[in-house]
């Protein structure tokens, strides 16, 4: 079992957001996490990252995540936050190459092979023209794609992406979901992706987890299931 979430209860002070959430991912898969604003999607990722206390268990390959030391440093988990702010000038290639951090010793420099690998993932996203640009001067969508390139280099088994397509134009939205699908089908990664872009899920293979439903469970993605869930979200107010 790649991921097993068992009776997860999590939230903040007086407010429980995730109530007895359970789901299992037996093989590499794409999982879209959907639901109204404020329902607890990012909170679920905080639990995966051990940033908040929770009841219940998150098992990764049958091991309790609480007892796995440094899951990011060991390539078990990779995470792309909703907002990732850089407030100092840095070239795009310097930022992307940092995705290789786990292959480097403390203070070891990146070499030409590392930069070539970084350039390759940036080329895959058709953004090679930005390699020498100052990251802070890029548009919001370009910055989001560059973070995605860095995450690709991390090569983690399980990737948590918090609204990776939020600021992207329609072309790149489609590209990004097709890339995430490739991570699963070609590279056997498991991708948990928070999104409000339900339309982009229509052609994908994988599952959907609607945290706005009273008892969320994994539903196999099909055009009918995506549309049913869209109608559900449109016709039900946010659960309090």
* Residues forming the site for ligand ATP (CB under 6 A): 12, 17, 35, 37-43
β partners of residue 82: none
Nearer to ligand ATP, 40 or 206 (CB): 40
Encoded tokens for 162: 């918090």
- Phi, psi of 32, rounded to the nearest 5 degrees: -90, 125
Compute the least distance from the CB of residue 37 to ligand ATP, in Å: 3
Compute the least distance from the CB of residue 12 to ligand ATP, in Å: 3
Nearer to ligand ATP, 50 or 124 (CB): 50
Nearer to ligand ATP, 31 or 130 (CB): 31
Radius of gyration of the chain (CA): 18
Q: How far apart (Å, rounded) are the C-alpha atoms in residues 33 and 181? A: 15
Nearer to ligand ATP, 41 or 189 (CB): 41
Compute the least distance from the CB of residue 196 to ligand ATP, in Å: 7
Nearer to ligand ATP, 37 or 113 (CB): 37
* Tokens 């909703």 -> residue: 82
Q: How far apart (Å, rounded) are the C-alpha atoms in residues 82 and 164? A: 7
Q: How far apart (Å, rounded) are the C-alpha atoms in residues 123 and 127? A: 6
Compute the least distance from the CB of residue 177 to ligand ATP, in Å: 18
Do the Cβ atoms of 72 and 159 come closer than 8 Å? Answer: no
Compute the least distance from the CB of residue 222 to ligand ATP, in Å: 23
β partners of residue 64: 59
């Amino acid at each position: 079992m790649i991921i097993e979430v068992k009776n997860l209860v999590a939230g903040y002070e007086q407010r429980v957001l995730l109530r007895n959430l359970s789901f299992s991912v037996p093989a590499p898969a794409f999982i879209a996490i959907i639901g109204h604003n404020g329902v607890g999607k990012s909170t679920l990722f905080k639990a995966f990252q051990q940033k908040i206390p929770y009841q219940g268990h998150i098992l990764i390959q049958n091991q309790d995540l609480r007892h796995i030391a440094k899951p990011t440093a060991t390539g078990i988990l990779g995470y792309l936050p909703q907002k990732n702010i850089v407030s100092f000038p840095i070239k795009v290639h310097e930022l992307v190459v940092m995705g290789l951090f786990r292959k480097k010793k403390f203070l070891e420099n990146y070499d030409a092979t590392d930069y070539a690998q970084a350039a390759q993932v940036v080329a895959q996203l058709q953004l090679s023209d930005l390699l020498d640009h100052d990251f802070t001067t890029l548009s919001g969508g370009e910055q989001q794609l560059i973070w995605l390139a860095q995450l690709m280099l991390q090569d983690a088994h399980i990737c948590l992406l918090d609204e990776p397509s939020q600021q992207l134009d329609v072309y790149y939205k489609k590209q990004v979901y097709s890339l995430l699908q490739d991570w699963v089908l070609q590279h056997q990664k498991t991708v948990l992706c928070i999104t409000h872009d339900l339309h982009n899920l229509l052609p994908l293979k994988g599952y959907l987890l609607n945290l706005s439903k009273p008892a969320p469970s994994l539903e196999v993605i099909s055009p009918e299931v995506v549309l049913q869930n869209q109608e559900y979200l449109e016709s039900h107010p946010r659960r309090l």
